[in-house]
Amino acid sequence: MKITDLKCAVIGGFPVVRITTDAGIDGIGQAENWKPNLKPHILYYRDMILGLDPTNVEAVMQRIRRMGSFKPWGAAVSAIEIALWDIAGKAANLPIYKLLGGKVRDKVRVYNGAIRFPLRDQSPEAYAEDVRKMAASPEGFSLIKQGIAFHSRMPNDIPGYYTGDPRAWGRHPHRGMLSAAGFRHTVACVEAMRNALPAHIELALDCGPGFLPPDAVRLAQAVEGMGIAWLEDMLTGDYVPYVSAAQYRDVKAKTSTPIHTGEQIYLRQNFMELIETHAVDVIGPDPLDVGGIAELKWITEYADIHGIAMAPHGTGDGIFGLAALVQVCATLPDNYIAFEYPLARPEWWYDIVDGLPDVIVKDSYIDVWDRPGLGVTFNKNAQKYLLDEDKGFFDL
Ligand SMILES: [Mg+2]
């Protein structure tokens, strides 16, 4: 089998990859919906993979893997990797999890980081009200993640929250020392959220990036005893093109609260220091940024033998990203906690794909499906949502 084309269309804001073959089998991959700029980046790889056998996934990846980088520049390579696995699964008439070594669980746990509501203000009461709403979702989530501190509006809306001037640009742009008042406010919000949730629902907190190590230690110690699932990306994280493993290790050594990072990191090599020096307790790469699902599988196995847990990121990954997460997470070892459940928006996304269960999430779990490849495919409704420039995407 040979690759005959690599295409990209932006559908409802999501860059979607389609790889076609001379056997009439195609494969789909997707990138996060806030990366519509990726289209030329995805097409950049086209000439490097034409004519190769897509079922030799690793051989194809060797051609393009070095031409990627940390988030957002690993997304194009990652989406192509997933489309290759989709083809390999369809060609073998097997779900992808079989090609990754087989499933070790029949259902995969998910957590809620995407079904959020506008906060009325930055008060502890508003945060408590918000997590109550997140917990009331019909998916029955048993783990909820809320943004606080530098991963929230606190630096902008709480006067004197930290030493720097609040920044209005970019993604999570703040960095500096928390003021005493800012620190107290943050802890009060965490307490209010924890008290608002029933005991069986866990609470994780996305915190940064932007903390300096002493504040990270103080916050982690202050919430000890509250049973927080993890504190995410305090020092470095989302859209930071480096890892800061040594600083994370300093923080982790001083607290019993689990410390988490990794959603922006590209490739296994960039997890080495975090894992080998036991710098964090939980890592959370996104299969759509880290280099794909085989990459995520390898990193999880390596983390497991070092006593580090895995909770993959996925909030913007859409339906094909969801399918990729279901397939790979079915194969992960016992250090797997849950993946971040992606919602597809606009709602019509659910009308243009076949293969999803009628109720996707039940009691915080998704039953692993057994159809070939990713197990979800576009149907004929998808054509009408293509932009004019992408009308030939499905070869219809
Ligand atoms: Mg995060």
134, 117 Cβ separation under 8 angstroms = yes
181 CA distance to ligand 1 middle (Å): 24
Phi/psi for 17 (5° steps) reads -100, 140
Ligand 1 centroid to Cα of residue 369, in Å, is 27
pTM over 0.75: yes
Q: 346 falls in which pLDDT band (50, 70, 90)?
A: very high
- Cα 205 to averaged position of ligand 1 atoms, centre (Å): 9
Q: What is the dihedral of CA 220, 181, 164, 204, to 10 degrees?
A: 30
Q: Which residues contact 139 (CB under 8 A, 6 or more apart)?
A: 110, 112, 115, 341, 360, 361, 362, 364
Of 55, 70, 93, which one is at a domain's C-terminal end? 93
- Using pLDDT thresholds of 50, 70 and 90, give the confidence band for residue 168: confident
Is 383 inside any structural domain? no
Ligand 1 centroid distance, CA of 148 (Å)? 11
41 C-alpha to ligand 1 centroid (Å) = 24
Query: Same structural domain for residues 167 and 192?
Result: yes
Residues 50 and 198 placed together within one structural domain of the fold: no
Do 143 and 261 lie in one domain? The reply is yes
List all residues 6 or more positions away from 180 whose beta carbon is below 8 Å from its beta carbon.
none
- Ligand 1 center to 56 CA (angstroms): 32
Cα 272 to ligand 1 centroid, rounded to whole Å: 20
DSSP letter at 256?
S
Q: How far is the CA of 50 from the centre of ligand 1 (A)?
A: 35
CB under 5 Å of ion ligand 1: residues: 206
Centre of ligand 1 from the C-alpha of residue 74, in Å: 16
**Same domain assignment for residues 59 and 189:** no
How far lies 148's CA from each of 14, 64, 68, 98, 351, in Å?
A: 27, 37, 30, 39, 34
263 CA distance to ligand 1 middle (Å): 6
- Please report which confidence band the pLDDT of residue 280 belongs to, taking 50, 70 and 90 as the band edges: very high
> Taking 90 as the threshold, does the pLDDT of residue 36 lie above it?
no
* Residue where the block lists tokens 């988030």: 71
Please give the pLDDT value at position 297: 98
Q: Does residue 120 sit in the same domain as residue 201?
A: yes
Torsion of CA 370, 375, 379, 382, to 10 degrees: 150
Output the CA 320–ligand 1 centroid distance in Å: 20
What is the reported pLDDT for 169? 85
- Residues 154-182: what's their mean pLDDT? 94
CA of 233 to the centre of ligand 1 (A): 6
Between the alpha carbon of residue 287 and those of residues 77, 79, 179, 190, 266, the distances in Å are 10, 9, 36, 29, 9
Ligand 1 centroid–CA 55 distance in Å is 33
How far, in Å, from the CA of 299 to the mean position of ligand 1? 18
- 360 in any annotated domain: yes
CA of 87 to the centre of ligand 1 (A): 30
Are 82 and 199 in a shared domain? no
| CA 206 to ligand 1 center in whole angstroms | 5
pLDDT at 120 over 90: yes
Whether the CB-CB separation of 86 and 36 falls below 8 Å is answered with: no
Domain boundary among 41, 63, 93: 93
In a domain, 394, yes or no: no
Domain count, the chain: 2
234 and 367 within one domain: yes
CATH code of the domain in which 328 resides: 3.20.20.120
The pLDDT, as a whole number, for residue 175 is 96
| Residue 80 shares a structural domain with residue 117 | no
- Using the 3D structure, point to which of 43, 63, 93 is the last residue of a domain: 93
Q: What CATH number does the domain containing 81 carry? A: 3.30.390.10
Separation of 328 CA from ligand 1 center, angstroms?
A: 20
**DSSP-assigned states of every residue in 258-309:** -EEE-TT--SGGGGHHHHHTT--SEE---TTTTT-HHHHHHHHHHHHTTT-E
Looking at every residue in the chain, the average pLDDT score rounds to 97
Give the tens place of pLDDT for each residue, 138-160: 999 999 999 999 999 999 999 99
Q: How far apart are CA 365 and CA 331, in angstroms?
A: 15
Residue 385 within any structural domain of the chain: no
Average pLDDT, integer, range 355-383: 98
User: Is 34 a residue whose pLDDT tops 90?
Assistant: no
Cα–ligand 1 centroid distance for 47 (angstroms): 34
What's the CA-to-centroid distance between 297 and ligand 1, angstroms?
19
In terms of domains, do 40 and 69 share one? yes
How many A from CA of 283 to the centre of ligand 1?
11
What band does 171 get if pLDDT is binned at 50, 70 and 90? confident
> Is 391 a member of any domain?
no
User: Residue 382 — pLDDT band, cuts 50, 70, 90?
Assistant: very high
Ligand 1 geometric centre to CA of 325 (Å): 16
Instruction: Judge whether residue 37 has pLDDT over 90.
Output: no
Q: Are residues 103 and 53 in the same domain?
A: no
Distance 368 CA to ligand 1 centre (A): 25
Residue 392 included in any domain:
no
Residues 290, 212: one domain? yes
Centre of ligand 1 from the C-alpha of residue 264, in Å? 9
What's the confidence (pLDDT) of residue 341?
98
229 neighbors 204 (Cβ within 8 angstroms): yes
Residue 35: per-residue pLDDT: 81
Could you tell me how many residues make up the chain?
396
Same domain, 195 and 286: yes
Of 27-31, 115-119, 359-363, which range is least confident? 115-119
Residue 131 has pLDDT above 90, yes or no: yes
Domain enclosing residue 66, as ranges: 3-93
Residue 390 lies in a domain: no
Region 92-97 average pLDDT: 98
Q: Give the relative orientation of helices 180-196 and 213-222 as an angle to the nearest 10 degrees.
A: 40
CB atoms near residue 2 (< 10 Å) = 12
* pLDDT tens sequence across 245-271: 999 999 999 999 999 999 999 999 999
Residue 389 counted as domain residue: no
Cα(61) to centroid of ligand 1, in Å?
27
- With a cut of 90, say whether residue 195 has pLDDT above it: yes
Task: Give distance in angstroms: CA of 238 to centre of ligand 1.
Answer: 6
Distance (Å) from CA 237 to ligand 1 centroid? 7
